């Protein structure tokens, strides 16, 4: 039992150390971005990997989330005589929460794990040391392209997921619950404002930065050979998910204070 407690304490201590180093890495990345020290070919390759590579799974996820949400909401709203609000409620849920958060979760699982595994393998095989010998900064060569790719492609994926989720909800509402298409679309237009879309894109930028920084940092701090790479990959995904949910709370709190537009209108 004592040995188990020691291992847990050591694991938590190591996790907090790596989290602190991730914050430091984020500061370094921002500084390098200000100085425009970018590796453009690497950045383009990472954008292609992050964006098109994650498109299909993001759209499939969004479509089914939109359909399931509509099933759960429509039957209750129709029962209370508020079926005309189904489209607007779906639009608000997708733009403010579901689309940016679930797309970021998909990205964390697919891309964040890949970052940690790739860079972690480079660390344990001493390829990172070789970059220093060649006078190449790993932040410029490895971290910045991945961070920019995530911050650029995640908002695009979020917007496409939003459209796909609304399309899935539209099909369910019109085909299963006989809600007129004009009523569904008018509800979306009434409930959803420009700020809702902007907030979704801002969230996506923040989530993309978190996924990239955490994945890269856990890769750069990998030790222990192949076993360490596996542990870093798993921990990076878990940490990225935790960071996304915590950041989402604070961003939502900052963005959506005060009465809603339905009340003020």
Domain membership flag for residue 157: yes
Domain membership flag for residue 37: yes
Structure confidence by residue, pLDDT tens digits, 96-125:
999 999 999 999 999 999 999 999 998 888
Residue 36 near residue 143, CB atoms below 8 Å: no
Domain membership flag for residue 5: no
Q: How many domains would you assign to the chain?
A: 1
Structure confidence by residue, pLDDT tens digits, 188-243:
999 999 999 999 999 999 999 999 999 999 998 888 888 889 898 999 999 999 99
Domain membership flag for residue 1: no
Domain membership flag for residue 12: no
How far apart, in Å, are the Cα atoms of 45 and each of 18, 54, 245? Answer: 27, 14, 28
**Interatomic CA distance for residues 7 and 12, integer angstroms:** 9
Residue 166 near residue 66, CB atoms below 8 Å: yes
Residue 262: pLDDT above 90? Answer: no
Domain membership flag for residue 102: yes
Domain membership flag for residue 16: no
If you average pLDDT over every residue of the chain, what do you get? 88
Helices and strands of the chain, counted as H and E runs: 12, 0
Give the pTM: 0.89
Q: Would you give the DSSP letter of residue 95? A: I
* Average pLDDT, integer, range 246-255: 94
Q: Containing domain of residue 44, as a range?
A: 22-255
Structure confidence by residue, pLDDT tens digits, 55-101:
999 999 999 999 999 999 988 888 888 888 999 999 999 999 999 99
Domain membership flag for residue 48: yes
Nearest in space to 47 (alpha carbons), one of 189, 148, 172: 148
């Amino acid at each position: 039992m004592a040995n188990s407690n020691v291992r847990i304490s050591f694991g938590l201590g190591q996790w907090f150390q790596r989290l602190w180093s991730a914050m430091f890495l984020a500061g370094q990345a921002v500084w390098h971005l200000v100085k425009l020290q970018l590796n453009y070919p690497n950045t383009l390759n990472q954008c292609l990997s992050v964006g098109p590579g994650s498109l299909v799974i993001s759209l499939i996820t969004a479509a089914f989330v939109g359909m399931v949400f509509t099933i759960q909401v429509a039957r209750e709203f129709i029962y209370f005589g508020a079926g005309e609000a189904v489209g607007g409620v779906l639009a608000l849920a997708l733009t403010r929460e579901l689309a940016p958060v679930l797309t970021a979760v998909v990205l964390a699982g697919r891309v964040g794990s890949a970052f940690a595994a790739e860079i972690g393998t480079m660390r344990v095989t001493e390829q990172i040391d070789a970059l220093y010998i060649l006078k190449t900064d790993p932040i410029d060569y490895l971290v910045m392209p991945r961070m920019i790719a995530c911050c650029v492609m995640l908002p695009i994926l979020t917007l496409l997921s939003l459209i796909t989720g609304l399309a899935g909800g539209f099909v369910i509402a019109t085909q299963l619950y006989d809600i007129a298409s004009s009523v569904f679309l008018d509800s979306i237009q009434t409930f959803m404002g420009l700020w809702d879309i902007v907030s979704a894109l801002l969230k996506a930028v923040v989530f993309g930065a978190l996924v990239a920084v955490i994945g890269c940092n856990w890769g750069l701090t990998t030790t222990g050979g192949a076993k360490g790479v596996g542990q870093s990959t798993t921990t990076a995904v878990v940490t990225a998910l935790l960071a996304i949910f915590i950041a989402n709370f604070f961003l939502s709190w900052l963005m959506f204070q005060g009465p809603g537009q339905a009340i003020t209108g």
